[in-house]
C-alpha cells in the first residue's frame, strides 16, 4: 500500500511540474500575442473585472466607490459601464 501512495505522490509532483512548465509557455505565448496588438499583460490584467470606466479611471463595482463615481445615481453610473 505504501508503494502505491509513494507512486501517487511522485505522479502528482510530476503533473504539477508539467503544469507549471506549460503555464510558463502559455504566458510567453500570450505576452507575444498582446505585444503584437500593442498591449502588455499588466494592461490586460488591470482590465479584468472592470465594470465601470471614466477615462483612465476604473472601478469593479465592488468596495468603496471611487471619487469620480461617489455622487452618481445608478442611471448616471450606467453611462460608464464597460
Shared domain check, 28 and 3: yes
What is the reported pLDDT for 45?
74
Shared domain check, 54 and 29: no
d(CA 50, CA 67) in angstroms, rounded, equals 16
d(CA 26, CA 34) in angstroms, rounded, equals 12
| pLDDT tens track for 32-80 | 999 999 988 878 877 778 889 998 888 988 899 999 999 899 899 999 9
Per the structure, the complete domain to which residue 42 belongs is given by 1-46
pTM confidence score: 0.51
Shared domain check, 23 and 3: yes
What is the reported pLDDT for 34?
92
Shared domain check, 3 and 30: yes
What is the reported pLDDT for 69?
92
Shared domain check, 53 and 41: no
Amino acid at each position: 500500500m505504501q508503494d502505491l501512495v509513494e507512486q501517487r505522490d511522485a505522479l502528482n509532483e510530476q503533473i504539477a511540474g508539467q503544469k507549471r512548465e506549460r503555464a510558463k509557455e502559455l504566458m510567453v505565448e500570450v505576452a507575444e500575442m498582446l505585444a503584437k496588438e500593442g498591449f502588455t499583460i499588466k494592461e490586460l490584467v488591470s482590465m479584468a473585472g472592470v465594470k465601470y470606466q471614466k477615462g483612465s479611471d476604473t472601478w469593479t463595482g465592488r468596495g468603496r466607490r471611487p471619487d469620480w463615481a461617489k455622487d452618481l445615481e445608478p442611471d448616471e453610473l450606467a453611462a460608464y459601464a464597460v
